[in-house]
A = this chain, B = another copy of it.
Amino acid sequence: MSILAIGTVAFDSIETPFGSADYILGGSATYITLAARYFTDDLGLVGVVGGDFPEAHLNLFRARGIGLEGLEIDADGKTFFWAGKYHYDLNDRDTLTTDLNVLATFEPKVPDARKDARIVCLGNLEPGIQRSVVAQAADPDFVICDTMNFWIENTPNSLVETLKVIDCLIINDAEARELADEPNLFKAARAIQAMGPRILVIKKGEHGALLFAEGEIFAVPAYPLEDIFDPTGAGDTFMGGFAGYLARVQRYDVAALRSAVVVGSAMASFCVEKFGPERLYDLDKQAINDRIQAFHTLTVIPSVEAL
Contact = CB atoms under 8 A, between A and B. Distances in A.
Interface string A182-226: 011111001000000000000010111010000011111100111
A227 to B, nearest CB: 7
A3 B295 CA distance: 34
A75 interface: no
A1 B245 CA distance: 47
Contact of A304 (B210, B292, B297): B292
Interface in A140-167: none
Copies of this protein in the assembly total 2
A282 interface: no
A289 B39 CA distance: 39
Interface residues of A, number: 53
Contacts of A258: 300-302
A288 B302 contact: no
A303 interface: yes
24 contacts: A38-B307, A39-B307, A88-B183, A184-B227, A185-B206, A208-B219, A210-B221, A216-B297, A218-B298, A220-B301, A245-B304, A245-B305, A248-B305, A258-B301, A259-B301, A259-B302, A262-B301, A263-B304, A289-B306, A289-B307, A292-B304, A295-B301, A296-B301, A299-B301
A113 interface: no
B226 A208 contact: no
A165 to B, nearest CB: 28
